[in-house]
Every structure is written in structure tokens, then in C-alpha cells.
């Protein structure tokens, strides 16, 4: 059976892609970005981060741009940008639905 491509992102996955939209980052920079952006609401340990990064490389959503010892730097691909935009649109629809229903 063929493997299904990612269609919906977890919150951690969303923030990893968001962290790479404007610049390349290594793993520790991604974690710091997520922590700063979410004011600590989204915690990302090394196991979660490196599982996501490996999945994203496999899915061609990001790619490695540099390796210096154990430090690996990543950038987002066009496919990754497209998935990010798709997920952002989906989340906006969820919020709109929730706000519409929640005000009644």
C-alpha cells in the first residue's frame, strides 16, 4: 500500500514550517523560534523535533542546506510552503467556524 502524503499538520509541525518561512535554521534555532513565537505554549523536545524534521525531509517539505558536525541547517521547499499555506487556510476556517458558533 502506498504511503499517504501529509495533509493535515500537528501544531508542532505547523510551527516548524513557520519557523523556516523567512530564513534557514538549525534545530536549536527552530526550537527557540517556536518557544518565542508561542510564548512557551508549544514545547518541543528533541525527540519531537527530529522526528518532524526527518518526516519533512522525507516528504520533501524541507531540505538540509548545511551540515557542520552535528549541526544541520534546514530550509523550506516550495512544496513545504504550499502545505503551510493550505494548513493556514484550514486553520482560519476552523477559527471562523468556532467564532460563528461560539457567539450564538
Closest CA to 52 of 18, 95, 1: 18
Average pLDDT over every residue of 74-93? 96
Lowest mean pLDDT among 1-5, 16-20, 26-30, 66-70: 1-5
Residue 25: C-alpha distances to residues 1, 43, 83, 91 (Å): 34, 17, 19, 25
All structural domains of the chain, each given as residue ranges with its CATH number in brackets, are: 11-102 (1.10.10.10)
Q: What is the pLDDT of residues 61-78, one digit of tens each?
A: 999 999 999 999 999 999
Q: How confident is the model at residue 102 (pLDDT cuts 50, 70, 90)?
A: confident
Q: What is the pLDDT of residues 26-63, one digit of tens each?
A: 999 999 999 999 999 999 999 999 999 999 999 999 99
Name the 3-class secondary structure at 26. strand
Amino acid at each position: 500500500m502506498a504511503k499517504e502524503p501529509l495533509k493535515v499538520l500537528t501544531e508542532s509541525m505547523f510551527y516548524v514550517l513557520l519557523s523556516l518561512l523567512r530564513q534557514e535554521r538549525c534545530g536549536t534555532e527552530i526550537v527557540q523560534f517556536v518557544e518565542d513565537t508561542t510564548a512557551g505554549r508549544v514545547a518541543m523536545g528533541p525527540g519531537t523535533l527530529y522526528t518532524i524534521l526527518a518526516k519533512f525531509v522525507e516528504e520533501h517539505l524541507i531540505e538540509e542546506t548545511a551540515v557542520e558536525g552535528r549541526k544541520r541547517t534546514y530550509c523550506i521547499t516550495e512544496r513545504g510552503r504550499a502545505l503551510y499555506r493550505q494548513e493556514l487556510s484550514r486553520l482560519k476556517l476552523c477559527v471562523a467556524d468556532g467564532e460563528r458558533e461560539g457567539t450564538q
